[in-house]
Amino acid sequence: MSTYFQKELDSGRMTFGVYNIGDSKNADIVKKYNAVGSQLFINIVEGDTDHIYDIQAIWDWNCRGNKLAFDQRVKAVIEQSLGSEE
């Protein structure tokens, strides 16, 4: 995330988290996102409203064994989401 989105992270426009769904301290966020395992979520917040997207396509990308290709796919999805905020 910091490689491609450090400016957005620093400004607070974007946040990033990795959570263990089995850890009870993460129960609220697990419930909010209906997380059940390894997943990629993007949440676009408009005012007080969350627009949570579970990026199911991540499993169809066929590049999980290729870190650079996987990173580029995730980056593209995030850039698309950031563009929808503007």
Chunked mean pLDDT (size 10), the chain, 86 residues: 91 91 96 91 89 85 81 89 70
What is the pLDDT at residue 86? 47
Long-range contacts formed by 35-44: CB under 8 A, 24+ apart: 40/74, 40/77, 42/77, 42/78, 42/81, 44/81, 44/84, 44/85
pTM across the whole model: 0.76
Q: How far from chain centre, in Å, is Cα 7? A: 16
